[in-house]
A and B are shown apart, each in its own frame.
Chain A
Amino acid sequence: GENVEQHPSTLSVQEGDSAVIKCTYSDSASNYFPWYKQELGKRPQLIIDIRSNVGEKKDQRIAVTLNKTAKHFSLHITETQPEDSAVYFCAASKGTYKYIFGTGTRLKVLA
């Protein structure tokens, strides 16, 4: 069935370093890929997304890249700060209600 694998499950970086989280999807018809940030005990928040007709999208310190051939997409956070510490979820969709979520990455930014 449709599946999204997310790696790593936990990631620790020093403040100021970069963090990269990778997701691989199984359904080649997927065409929309959002990323959510969830702070402890809070709701998921959409932080960036990309559609299949674009290879890269950037928003300040956050960027997402998409490789349709390899069926993977990645979240890049540069110049990490303590407030970036959270769980990050990727998802894939075929442009409908049906989002398949990854299992999450717990990012810890060490001061």
Chain B
Amino acid sequence: NAGVTQTPKFQVLKTGQSMTLQCAQDMNHNSMYWYRQDPGMGLRLIYYSASEGTTDKGEVPNGYNVSRLNKREFSLRLESAAPSQTSVYFCASSDTAQGIIQYFGAGTRLSVL
């Protein structure tokens, strides 16, 4: 009964370092999402994947890349981290691109120094 699992939970990077955030869901959902959450702001969509093999940019894609590895897994990569990418990152999934986003991961708190 894991739902959406994200790793790691916390990460500290230096400016210019790279890292990959991992997300996996076990609900056989087709669509997966990456959001970032900053203080005083709502969740903002970074990238989404409507189905396996497809990815599209969201509201704030600059500085990020994604990979939909298979139906279960959707990773987010920061190639050269910047302090502006300090945020909490949430992965989410829904059964379809028109479906209800009911399940979020527990979040990754990222600090870029």
Contacts and interface: CB of A to CB of B under 8 A. Distances in A.
A89 B101 contact: no
Contact of A99 (B50, B101, B107): B101
A98 B106 CA distance: 21
A73 interface: no
A97 B100 contact: no
B98 A95 contact: yes
B104 interface: yes
B29 interface: no
B105 A43 contact: yes
B97 A96 contact: yes
A44 B90 contact: yes
B8 to A, nearest CB: 15
B42 A102 contact: yes
A50 to B, nearest CB: 11
Interface size class of A (residues with CB under 8 A): 20 to 34
A96 to B, nearest CB: 6
A98 B60 CA distance: 12
B101 A34 contact: yes
A45 B100 CA distance: 12
Contact of A42 (B43, B48, B98, B106): B106
A101 B42 contact: yes
Contacts of B98: 95-97
A23 to B, nearest CB: 10
Contact of A34 (B90, B100, B106): B100
A36 B33 CA distance: 16
Interface of B: 31, 33, 40-45, 48, 50, 58, 90, 94, 97-98, 100-102, 104-107
Given A96-B98, A97-B97, A103-B41, 11 more contacts: A6-B42, A42-B106, A43-B105, A43-B107, A44-B104, A46-B102, A97-B45, A97-B94, A99-B45, A101-B43, A101-B44
